[in-house]
Amino acid sequence: MTDRRQFRDLVSPAEARAAIDSLDLAPDPETVPLDAARGRVLAERIDAELDVPGFDRASVDGYAVRARDTFGADEADPIVLDRIGTVHAGAEPDVEVQEGTCAEISTGAVLPPGADAVVMVERTDETDAGIAIRTSVAPGDRVMVAGADVAAGSRAFGPGTLITPREIGLLSALGVDDVPVRGTPTVGIVSTGDELVRPGETLHSEAGQIYDVNSYTIAAGVEEAGGEAVLYPHAGDDYDEMEQLLVKAADECDLVLSSGSTSASAVDVIYRVIEREGELLLHGVSVKPGKPMLVGRLEDSAYVGLPGYPVSALTIFRTFVAPAIREAAGLPEPRTATVEGEMAVRERYSEGRTRLMPVGLVEDGSGDTLVYPVDKGSGATTSLVEADGIVEVDADTDYLAAGETVGVQLFSPDVRAPTLLGVGEDDPALSRLLDRLERPRYLDVGSRQGRRRLRDGVPDVAVVSGPSDRDTDAVDLGGWTREWGLVVPTDNPAGIDSLADLIDRDLRFVNRSTDAGLRASLDAELDRLADRRGTDRRDLTDAVDGYELTVKGFESPARKVIGGAADAGLGLRATADALDCGFVPLGTESVRVLADPDRTDKPGVVALDDAIESALDDVVANLAGFDA
């Protein structure tokens, strides 16, 4: 008489989850072409290797001009410029704008040499004498400078990013054709029991046969959870046949699932196979339905035995196995396609038409969902990445009040609020720290904007640099220092050795935007130089060719220098080192990570605090000019 194996002590659901969590289901990372990357998860950080756009371009139809030629022009007293040609989008300019001239230009076209601004066509007139300019413009007006959308060297995506059509768009803009992704866990599915027949085969009900429901049901669940299902032939209740089939599946897959043959029946032998070929971690879970469940290891693969009844098998799969597959694939837990949240800030709107407002989500210190507007302009690809969904605003709505409840139509049911929302200065050390967090989001808006948004209560943290007033209401999580100065071509052919060279010599300079902490450090140094010379800073900045023309990212000035568009650019020693440029040091500035005092206990903030504490020394050790 065959011994009957009774259920072992039933474990709690928490213990069952812990047993499955102890299994290694994650395959090795792989590289896939861009057109196969949708739905996959990034395995590593992707930094922008070029500026987007890669050239200074017109943002309106109009005329490319030298801004200084328009000074003083207005409706009553226009300035007339000679039209020297036309620049079309997608074509290399064949004209050069010189004093007293202009070139007709289309939206998106390359700004021709000599021009530093665009006058929109609505503020001009064609006359016999030339083009009458009826407004004055400043350098950079109506121009999207290289890197204004995405700056070379900036952090485009971090590891763990789910690739949706939004991310595909930005990866395309960056020219990425091979994408490093987490591997897709392969899941072998074996249905057992002499009574089972595959659909399409002849069914003998009189012999107690039933169609195999579980193989296809569980395979669909595996695919939905982000795995790749592999169906194996049906196994009967013969020990040798079952052993051979399960071992083959274990050799070929990351996880093996079986259904049936997990009860205490004398003919159910699968647990004996697991004990002989691997390790049985548990047999039986205190849940209904689904008590007969096995968890173990089979050779080098994970193994889970599901109950034979389809409802029980699917219940156990969704409750315990699907989350493990999603985690192995790096996918988030699914969510509904619509969520409600409170507006984090007041948003004005009174244009008399329906607005589809891109918004991002962030959780406050209590776990409540806050909604904040995301709008960088219709030409900015990154708006798609930074937004989680859309709030539809009625045409007769003048504003949405802070604290007002709104419904958000998510771009995807998989969208979740980031674990950490940070804003402020762009910084290579910060990018490396963020890699150690799960699903952070960081908006490089500059130090000045970072402080303002932190005061408004939107982000969890702001990262700031350069001289400023003390942020007394924020909690300082720590920081580092970085050496800044002038990035110059290799071997410094112009012989630049100080800031004074930019003022006293005919040199071309590339600056950072006024929101950047690095710009504040430069201006403070100019103030000190002005004091020594007995003048004011404006006199010095007026003498610097390019002071008012700014770029976004910390690598962008260096890229301009490398491309021959400038003799020097404001930047970091680390950038010069990474891009093999020369460097003229001007000083060292502090970078601080400031947290909302009401969110210091939020898990994402705690994780960043821990990363600063435990990993900062290693991070800055590989960055020239950085010090913890």
The amino acid occupying position 267 is V
Q: What digits encode the pLDDT tens for the residues 459-507? A: 999 999 998 766 668 999 999 999 999 999 999 999 999 999 999 999 9
| Cα–Cα dist 520/447, whole Å | 9
Cα dist from 288 to 291, 307, 319, whole Å: 6, 11, 12
Q: Compute the distance between CA of residue 256 and CA of residue 458 in angstroms, rounded to an integer.
A: 45
What is residue 489's predicted lDDT score, i.e. its pLDDT? 97
Q: Which two tokens stand for residue 245?
A: 């089939």
Tokens standing for residue 376: 């960088």
Residue of 260 and 542 predicted with greater confidence: 542
- Give strand pairing partners of 52: 150
- Residue 622 to residues 36, 155, 230, Cα–Cα distance (Å): 34, 17, 44
Q: End-to-end CA distance of the chain, in Å? A: 73
DSSP 271: H
When the pLDDT of each residue in the chain is averaged and rounded to a whole number, the result is 89
Query: Domains of the chain (ranges plus CATH)?
Result: 13-27+184-329 (3.40.980.10), 30-52+149-181 (3.90.105.10), 57-144 (2.170.190.11), 338-417 (2.40.340.10), 440-627 (3.40.190.290)
Each residue's pLDDT tens digit, 193-203? 667 766 677 77
Does the pTM exceed 0.85? no
Encode pLDDT of 562-605 as tens digits: 989 999 999 999 999 999 999 999 999 999 999 999 999 999 99
Q: Give strand pairing partners of 420.
A: 440
